[in-house]
């Protein structure tokens, strides 16, 4: 039984449902990417992006998926065979490690339980053991899209600083913010990140197709001696062309229109207000999960994500079966469990074009499909009026 109503509800962690205002901004004639109007737009979005990354340092934009920006971070600042330390916080950390391996890195994936963030003390211990500075980079995923667990980037930086003696360990800190940028508080400069990796289709509310690197001075310096033979991802070409508002190859012009609009929307609301909204919706979601007698995948409240929540299904209930019921009954897509936790969790986004009304509606739909499976639903608090109907 499918209730069609002209509006599918995309409640997966990403891509985000794109606001009409951004869709319309992209629905415009492609302009000459070598002309003066284009250069002006480039400068505006590059400047606006700095505010979002909270950095004074350069940000580059690739016409590519976030996966490309992972690769870009690695091949610009490091050399083949370099040792990099990565942390198995979930599916995307695992995939990033796989990219690193394919690129020829000695990429260690420190095992994790997919329910916790990177442990700063573990970072510190590893680096302290690395007196020879063989480790060239520490790579962490700020917000694991597959688990709804965040890692404390600021604490990781401090751990790295403590580990290396007086001057700190020289490894670069690379951070994936694909599902955290413009979603939860993130500070490229203050937290001492060297390369921040991001994408268009999450907190920036755009369709996929753009990705980003924010680059510290130290990373730029490291890039000068990179041993990689590469071309598309080169920071130097990009930065040189960006200087005048252009790109070294054809940019994804219409997605840039959307980016300009997105930056406008984020600024209108105010980034801190955006974060506060996400925090509020995330907390409401966790309260609902708890009221349902279910468990949030993330173990540590300090690591809860305001970008999305992954919910553990009770034993005997297949999460994908459950998601299918929700889709059929309410025309709403929930996020699936990925990798190790496939079939065991479903995920709900609270980020981006969301609000109280949509979040309450989302929780209602989940609750309705969930109810018959609960042994004693009558006793469960929170049986709202539309639920008991």
Query: Contacts with a copy of itself in 198-237 (CB under 8 A)?
Result: 199, 201, 205, 207-209, 229-232, 234
CA–CA distance from 40 to each of 56, 82, 249, 260, 382 (Å)?
Answer: 19, 39, 17, 11, 52
| Options 6-14, 118-126, 218-226, 341-349: segment touching a copy of itself (CB under 8 A) | 6-14
Tell me the per-residue interface mask from 16 to 35 with a copy of itself, x by CB under 8 A, - otherwise: xxxxxx-xx-xxxxxxxxxx
Selected from 332, 345, 348, 370, the binder of a copy of itself by CB under 8 A is: 332
Q: Which of 359, 353, 369, 339 is nearest to 147 (CA)?
A: 339
Of 68 and 120, which has the nearer Cβ to a copy of itself? 68
Does 301 interact with a copy of itself (rule: CB under 8 A)?
Answer: no
Of 155 and 377, which has the nearer Cβ to a copy of itself? 377
Q: Residues binding a copy of itself: what is the number (CB under 8 A)? A: 105
Cα Rg of the chain, angstroms = 21
* 60-89: contacts with a copy of itself (CB under 8 A): 62-68, 71, 80
Does 102 interact with a copy of itself (rule: CB under 8 A)?
Answer: yes
| Options 8-16, 109-117, 183-191, 217-225: segment touching a copy of itself (CB under 8 A) | 8-16
Of 160 and 204, which has the nearer Cβ to a copy of itself? 204
Cα separation of 80 and 101, whole Å?
A: 10
Does 166 interact with a copy of itself (rule: CB under 8 A)?
Answer: no
Residue written as token pair 């940000």: 59
Cα separation of 211 and 225, whole Å?
A: 24
Cα separation of 350 and 307, whole Å?
A: 6
Does 180 interact with a copy of itself (rule: CB under 8 A)?
Answer: no
Minimum distance of a copy of itself from residue 191's CB (angstroms): 26
Of 64 and 345, which has the nearer Cβ to a copy of itself? 64
| Options 124-132, 151-159, 308-316, 362-370: segment touching a copy of itself (CB under 8 A) | 362-370
Does 382 interact with a copy of itself (rule: CB under 8 A)?
Answer: yes
* 32-51: contacts with a copy of itself (CB under 8 A): 32-35
The answer, yes or no, to whether the previous bond of 15 is cis (omega within 30 of 0) is yes
Give the helix/strand (H/E) hosting 86: strand 83-87
Does 381 interact with a copy of itself (rule: CB under 8 A)?
Answer: yes
Does 120 interact with a copy of itself (rule: CB under 8 A)?
Answer: no
Q: Ramachandran region of residue 15, left (φ > 0), alpha (ψ -120 to 50) or beta?
A: beta
* 247-286: contacts with a copy of itself (CB under 8 A): 248-255, 265, 268-269, 273, 277, 283-284
Of 167 and 244, which has the nearer Cβ to a copy of itself? 244
| Options 132-140, 182-190, 310-318, 347-355: segment touching a copy of itself (CB under 8 A) | 347-355
Q: For 249-305, where are the alpha helices, taking DSSP H only?
A: 253-269, 271-291
Q: Which of 93, 83, 78 is nearest to 235 (CA)?
A: 78
Cβ(25)–Cβ(258) below 8 Å: yes
Minimum distance of a copy of itself from residue 65's CB (angstroms): 5
Q: Ramachandran region of residue 314, left (φ > 0), alpha (ψ -120 to 50) or beta?
A: beta
To the nearest 10°, report the CA torsion of 258, 283, 140, 108. -130
Of 47 and 290, which has the nearer Cβ to a copy of itself? 290
Of 168 and 209, which has the nearer Cβ to a copy of itself? 209
Buried-exposed string 28-63: b where 16+ CB fall within 10 A, e elsewhere? eeeeebeeeebeebbebbbebbbebbbbebbbbbbb
* DSSP helix/strand/coil, 60: strand
Minimum distance of a copy of itself from residue 118's CB (angstroms): 22
Of 69 and 159, which has the nearer Cβ to a copy of itself? 69
Structure tokens at 83: 């040792």
Cβ(165)–Cβ(315) below 8 Å: no
Minimum distance of a copy of itself from residue 117's CB (angstroms): 23
Minimum distance of a copy of itself from residue 303's CB (angstroms): 20
């Amino acid at each position: 039984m499918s209730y069609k109503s002209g509006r599918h509800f995309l409640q997966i962690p990403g891509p985000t449902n794109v606001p009409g205002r951004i869709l319309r901004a992209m629905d415009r004639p492609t302009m000459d990417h070598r002309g003066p109007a284009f250069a002006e737009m480039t400068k505006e979005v590059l400047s606006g992006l700095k505010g979002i990354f909270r950095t004074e340092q350069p940000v580059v934009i690739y016409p590519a998926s976030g996966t490309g920006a992972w690769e870009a971070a690695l091949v610009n600042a490091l050399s083949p065979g370099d040792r990099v330390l990565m942390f198995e916080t979930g599916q995307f950390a695992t995939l990033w490690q796989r990219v690193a391996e394919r690129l020829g890195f000695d990429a260690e994936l420190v095992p994790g339980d997919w329910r916790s963030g990177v442990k700063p003390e573990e970072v510190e211990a590893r680096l302290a053991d690395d007196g020879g500075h063989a480790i060239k980079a520490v790579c962490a995923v700020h917000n694991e899209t597959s688990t709804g667990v965040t890692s404390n980037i600021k604490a990781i930086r401090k751990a790295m600083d403590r580990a290396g003696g007086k001057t700190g360990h020289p490894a670069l800190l690379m951070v994936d913010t694909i599902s955290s940028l413009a979603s939860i508080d993130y500070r490229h400069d203050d937290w001492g990140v060297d390369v921040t990796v991001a994408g268009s289709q999450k907190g920036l509310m755009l369709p996929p197709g753009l990705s980003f690197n924010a680059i510290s001075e130290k990373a730029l310096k490291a890039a000068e001696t990179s041993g990689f033979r590469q071309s598309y991802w080169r920071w130097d070409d990009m930065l040189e062309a960006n200087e005048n508002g252009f790109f070294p190859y054809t940019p994804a012009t219409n997605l840039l229109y959307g980016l300009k609009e997105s930056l406008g929307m984020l600024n209108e609301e105010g980034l801190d207000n955006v974060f506060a909204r996400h925090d509020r919706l995330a907390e409401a979601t966790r309260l609902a999960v708890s009221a349902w007698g279910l468990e949030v995948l993330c173990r540590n409240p300090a690591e809860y994500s305001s970008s999305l929540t992954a919910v553990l299904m009770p034993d005997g209930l297949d999460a994908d079966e459950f998601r299918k019921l929700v889709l059929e009954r309410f025309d709403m897509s929930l996020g699936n469990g990925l990798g190790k936790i496939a079939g065991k969790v479903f995920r709900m986004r609270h980020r981006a074009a969301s609000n109280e009304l949509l979040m309450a509606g989302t929780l209602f739909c989940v609750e309705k499909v969930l109810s018959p499976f609960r042994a004693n639903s009558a006793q469960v608090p929170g049986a709202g009026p539309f639920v008991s109907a």
